[in-house]
Chains A and B, each alone.
Chain A
Amino acid sequence: MARAVTQKRKLIATLAAWTIGMAIFFPILWTIITSFKTEAEAIADPPSLFWFDWTLENYNVVNERSNYPLHFMNSVIISLGSTLLGLIIAVPAAWSMAFVPGKRTKDVLMWMLSTKMLPPVGVLIPIYLISRDLGVLDSRLALVVILTLINLPIIVWMLYTYFKEIPGEILEAARMDGATLKSEILYVLTPMAVPGIASTVLLNIILAWNEAFWTLNLTAAKSAPLTAFIASYSSPEGLFYAKLSAASTMAIAPILIMGWFSQKQLVRGLTFGAVK
């Protein structure tokens, strides 16, 4: 028997939830709105929510003046690159752990997880010095490699939990029918694994895009992604609220949209399967 829900109760819940939801979302909304103001309007007293002359001026200024496209491309390359590289390494590992589990599989999984618990600042100095000595400080390559390694445990774990849900009998049936290992992976496993892989990719792009410890410490002008570029606004000159807002809006928009699509998988990925 479904619980009878009075209309009044539903209305109250709606009102409360929308109010709180809007309050939580407001800083983002305010940033987006401010990005369409002129600098003078952005600090006008009293501030206006909608009734001002909307302008795209800031987006032009940001795009032209500050190498914004370069930093945007850095973000794209670093997050896509590290996700792809991670996937190439993690898919075989997760596949074998899910379908050919050995005595030590659980230990290996737990150990991989434990590497994620290492606080980054504990290894900041060696990584900094190694990058300096290899001449890859402020290079995209270094960040791709580091972010791959940082997120590798999450990629392996997420794929593992998804692969585990694929019934092993299907693989055995394929094997009985004489499928080789290669065709087994290519034609049987892959089609069933695509949804899980897709959510893993999505979550990892988000994590890599927003990563702000290594990107801030290991980059300067050349390879800085958006996280580091935006940080340069912390010691600004003159009026900059509208430009900051425009730069921020462009930095968070792609990830916000991807994030909304991946919110269900997020829980599984971020809790390592402890909450589903």
Chain B
Amino acid sequence: MNETLEQRLSMLLDGETTPFETKRLVDEIHCNPHIKALWLRMNKQRAALKGELIDPTLDISASVMSHLNSTPQISHLNSKPWQFSHFFPTHYLKACCYLLGFFLVLSSPLLNLKNFSPSDSFSKLSNPSKTFNRNIPLPGNEALLVDLGSNFNGNLKNYRMVSENAIEANYQLPDNEAVKIKVFFNDVPQSERLNLLESGITLHTKSGNEPIVLNVSSDQISNSKLIKISNTFFTK
């Protein structure tokens, strides 16, 4: 990269920098008053060009940041958006589980439901009840999987229970590449560990307060892209 710092700032203004470069420039803007002034001027210049400059001396950034710094750290900012507990508060989730269980027990003779065990075949999103598992409420699982995908713009295509404590989900990326994520709700079984080592990137993280293990793999995308995707799941 032969670009000067000014040129890279110009690229940042246009959203043309890589995430790595963005981080570096953000640090530069923060630490170097000269660079900060240049960034401010570049933005004012753009506003002037577009007829949106109302006051050349306007700068509300200091007051916004001082307000943000004076308020307590917002806890959810440090957790990922797909965390289970955000969507299903525990008390609500428990009530739903009881109601669902009660309903199924009552309705099973009517609906002729003989087998609640995990299915081996991939479920369709339109018919999620095929993979019902008593231990893991399915609607919660599906929301979790959809939100996992939203971290990297992945559309959930299908998923299946691979064991009592694990789900395998397939996603499609915007450019039609496929990514597979295995979610283990407890630790990874010993028998599975070696397979996972060979098949992708394994992360230990949390869903709400519960530890989960994610294995991200794909036979279509590069390792660096796979690493980028897996980085989106890290919680601080």
A and B associate: no
Binding site for B on A (CB under 8 A): none
